Amino acid sequence: MPSLEILSPCNTIDFDFDVISCSPSYATCTRSYQENKFLTTAFTKLCALPVPNNNKDVHTHADTSDVIEEDITIPGLPPLLRGHPDVHLRHGVMRAAQLALQHESDAEKAFFVGDLCYVYQQHLRWKKNLPEIEPFFAIKCNPDPYVLRLLAGLGVGFDCASIGEISQIVGLGVDPSRIIFANPCKAASFIKQAARAGVDMMTFDNTDELYKIARLFPSAKLVIRILTDDSKSLCRLGLKFGAPLVTVPGLLAKAKELKLDVVGVSFHVGSGCYDPSAFADAVMRARSVFEMGHEAGYNFTLLDIGGGFEDATFETTASTLRDAIDQYFPNRENIRIIAEPGRYYVAKAFSLATNVIARRAPPTPEGGGSQDMDMESEQPSVMYYINDGVYGAFNCILFDHQTPQPYVLSLNGSFHVPSSVPMRASSVWGPTCDSLDCVCPVTQLPSTLQVGDWLAFDNMGAYSVCAASQFNGFQISNVIYTSGVGYLSGEVRKVLKEFSKGEEGEDED
């Protein structure tokens, strides 16, 4: 079990509590507190103290560099801290209270906490369960600069969908051989720029794409993207991409006629696949395409099994994949197998803290009565407005079919919510003036929740901040980064330090 790490407070306060303890996997976290007294007292004391006069930048409201010693500095990025992410969620709330007392603008701004230790742990989990398969992280899921640097340092490859993503990865010093341009329908200018960048592995699924590539990048190493059954996935990519098997012989014949080099087969069972058998079916289809390639005069050496990996079903999916690959590719000494995981690496690595900025509730009847009269109803009786919404981090609701659920981070200046607090049906809304901006139509929240309290959301690392906008003038939430606790925290920092040395060398060249 990793050693526990006690964080130094930013001011001298007597925190009379047991430190948060976690298992190495973070799967089970236990919080042992000595009731609510210390939290309320510490919160009140901390809010009464002046805010350190730090340099103000875009990370002001999410900066905890005055709390924990940091020793990794990457130009243009906030510091990488240590400690359990829950600690940083609480500290961010307390710091916001300090800033509010100092009349700072937007003091209560929402913020993420990104746990890089979780990303590292997911990589170890991948290597344990799918050792033969090289992960190529789908950066569209979360192009966070720390996440990309950590994965690059771990030797992970990258699935890029645009020249912008390719430039981002090449700019980190990643070798082009560790990049696949996995967009079957590319702009002509993107193909030319990929050629200049040396990224020669790219997908296709139609004849027009072959003509473009033959004209602009004839030496590219092509991967035919086939259509699979994605009916068991949250996002069905087959509606847009993938060549039906019946069209594959004709596509391969055209590629041969154009003297193009097709090196393998790719598929994608859809983003957020909850049925592992979909992978087995797709591998079977890929095997048949390998045979079609042989008949067309190609000797395929690449199998790309795409993405769709879910955290909850990963071990089951990995077992199904291993069995399918053994069955359909028993002789694979000369076959490179890659995958394109995205949310698997980052979904649970980020949490979001939001402030309740407004509240609408039925008026209290004169002469008594209670606002909680509708508490038993399943219909929401109170509307809460928070400072992030579907045009920001919660775009995952619209674009990724997610249903985030809030939990109370602080209530009336305390991080402890007694089990005796009555709950009532409520709805949670974003800050914009659009009625579409609904984060949670119905949820149970404490009846005493008020403006100024904080709600948090877990599992906010996939398809969230990457697609956030500044609609209505609301800023994108900032990120606090931590390397976690214990042994793996040190490993994360070691990888990033080594990678940053390589970046410095690239800059010198």
Residues 6+ away with beta carbon under 8 Å from 383: 359, 360, 361, 426, 427, 428, 429
* Backbone dihedral angles phi then psi of residue 506, each to the nearest 5 degrees: -65, -40
> Is residue 9 in a domain?
no
Q: What is the rounded CA–CA span in Å between residue 67 and residue 13?
A: 12
Longest dimension (CA), the chain: 88
pLDDT for the residue numbered 460:
93
pLDDT attached to residue 467: 64
- Do residues 155 and 32 share a domain? no
Assigned domain for 58 exists: yes
Residue 248 near residue 211 (C-beta atoms within 8 A): no
Tokens of 436: 């579409």
Question: If you search the block for the tokens 């690449």, which residue do you land on?
Answer: 302
pLDDT tens string, the chain, 509 residues long: the values are: 444 443 433 333 333 333 333 333 333 333 333 334 434 444 444 444 444 333 333 333 344 333 444 467 788 899 999 999 999 999 999 999 999 888 888 889 999 999 999 999 999 999 999 999 999 999 999 999 999 999 999 999 999 999 999 999 999 999 999 999 999 999 999 999 999 999 999 999 999 999 999 999 999 999 999 988 655 545 544 455 689 999 999 999 999 999 999 999 999 886 554 578 888 999 999 999 999 999 999 999 999 999 889 899 999 999 999 999 999 999 999 999 999 999 999 999 999 999 999 999 877 655 444 444 444 567 888 999 999 988 888 888 877 777 889 999 999 989 988 889 999 999 999 888 887 889 999 999 999 999 999 999 999 998 877 766 666 666 778 999 999 999 999 999 999 999 988 766 555 54
357 and 274 in a common domain = no
Contact 194, 173 (CB under 8 A): no
Kindly state whether residues 273 and 197 are assigned to the same domain: yes
CB of 121 closer than 8 Å to CB of 25: yes
Q: Are 225 and 242 in contact (CB under 8 A)?
A: yes
Same domain, 353 and 336: no
Closest CA to 482 of 170, 22, 175, 1: 22
Residue 108 inside a domain? The answer is yes
Q: Do the Cβ atoms of 445 and 401 come closer than 8 Å?
A: no
Question: At what angle are helices 188-197 and 207-216 packed, to 10 degrees?
Answer: 50
Do residues 189 and 293 share a domain?
yes
Residue with tokens 């398809």: 463
- Residue 357, exposed/middle/buried by CB under 10 A (0-12, 13-18, 19+)? middle
Supply 327's token pair.
């069955």
CA angle, corner 107, sides to 103 and 109, nearest 5? Answer: 160
Please give the residue range of the domain that contains residue 97.
21-116+347-363+372-486
pLDDT of residue 99: 92
List Cα–Cα distances, 193 to 174, 199, 255, in angstroms: 16, 9, 21
Q: Are residues 309 and 403 in the same domain?
A: no
Q: Which of 130, 156, 108 minimizes the C-alpha distance to 355?
A: 108
CA distance 273 to 313: 9
CATH number at residue 247: 3.20.20.10
In this structure, what are the phi and psi dihedrals at residue 464, rounded to the nearest 5 degrees? -125, -85
Alpha-carbon distance of 60 to 379, in angstroms, equals 39
CA dist., res. 267 & res. 214, Å (int): 22
Catalytic residue among 433, 438, 440, 466: 433
My answer on whether 191 and 257 are in the same domain is yes
Task: Give the span between the Cα atoms of 172 and 157, in whole angstroms.
Answer: 12
First to last CA, the chain: 42
Residue 133 in any domain: the answer is no
Rounded to an integer, what distance in angstroms lies between the CA atom of residue 227 and that of residue 285? 9
DSSP class of residue 17 equals: S
Both 186 and 333 in one domain: the answer is yes
Residue labelled with tokens 């020793």:
71
- Rounded to an integer, what distance in angstroms lies between the CA atom of residue 67 and that of residue 10? 5
Residues 150 and 280 both lie in one domain: yes
- CA 507, CA 53: separation in Å to the nearest integer? 32
Let me know if residue 325 belongs to a domain: yes
Q: Is residue 451 part of a domain?
A: yes
Q: Which two tokens stand for residue 414?
A: 């305390």
* Helix or strand holding residue 91 (H, E): helix 85-101
pLDDT, residue 391, reads 86
pTM (2 d.p.): 0.83
Could you write out the three-class secondary structure of 84-151? CHHHHHHHHHHHHHHHHHCCCCCCCCCEEEEEHHHHHHHHHHHHHHCCCEEEEEEHHHCCCHHHHHHH
Q: Is 82 helix (H, G, I), strand (E, B) or coil?
A: coil
Q: Under a CB-based contact definition with an 8 Å cutoff, are residues 81 and 88 in contact? A: yes
Residue 243 lies in a domain: yes
The torsion angles phi and psi of 438, rounded to 5 degrees, stand at -110, 120
In this structure, the answer to whether residues 162 and 247 fall within a common structural domain is yes
Q: Which residues pair with 223 in a beta bridge?
A: 203, 264
Question: Cβ of 6: how many Cβ atoms within 10 Å?
Answer: 11
438 is catalytic: no
Distance CA 242, CA 234 (A): 17
The residue with tokens 């404490």 is 446
CATH number at residue 76: 2.40.37.10
pLDDT of residue 361: 86
Closest CA to 248 of 297, 301, 299, 206: 206
Does residue 168 share a domain with residue 95? no
Is-contact 182 157, C-beta < 8 A? no
**In-domain check, residue 509:** no
- In angstroms, rounded to a whole number, what is the distance separating the alpha carbons of residues 322 and 474? 46
Are the beta carbons of 434 and 391 closer than 8 angstroms? yes
Question: Quick count: other Cβ atoms within 10 Å of Cβ 257?
Answer: 10
- Total domains, the chain: 2
**Judgement on whether residues 184 and 258 belong to the same structural domain of the protein:** yes
